[in-house]
Amino acid sequence: MLSLQEILNRCNIQGKILEHNGENRIFLFFEFNPAWNDAIRKVNGSRWSKTQQAWHIAANQATADELKQHLSVEPIEENIAWEIASIDYVKLLENAGYTYSLQKTYLLEFKSFAEHFYLQNPMELSKADIKQYLKVLAVQKGYTAPQIDKSVESIQFFYEQVMQQSLNNYFEC
Give the pLDDT confidence score for residue 55 in this predicted structure: 94
Query: What's the average pLDDT block by block, 10 residues per block, for the chain (173 residues)?
Result: 74 88 92 84 93 92 86 55 79 90 92 82 84 92 94 92 74 47
DSSP 24-42: EEEEEE-S--HHHHHHHHT
What are the residue boundaries of the structural domains of the chain, listed by start? Answer: 4-70, 76-169
Handedness of CA 111, 115, 117, 118 (dihedral sign): positive
CA distance 98 to 94: 7
Q: How many CB atoms lie within 10 A of CB 35?
A: 16
The pLDDT assigned to 173 comes to 41
Residue 45 is predicted with a pLDDT of 93
Identify the pLDDT of residue 75: 46
Q: What CATH code would you report for 76-169?
A: 1.10.150.130
How far apart are alpha carbons 43 and 69 in whole angstroms?
9
| Residue count (the chain) | 173
Q: pTM to 2 decimals?
A: 0.54
What is the model's pLDDT at position 168? 65
Nearest to 107 by CA among 126, 94, 121: 94
What is the C-alpha separation between 55 and 61, in angstroms, rounded? 17
pLDDT of residue 164: 86
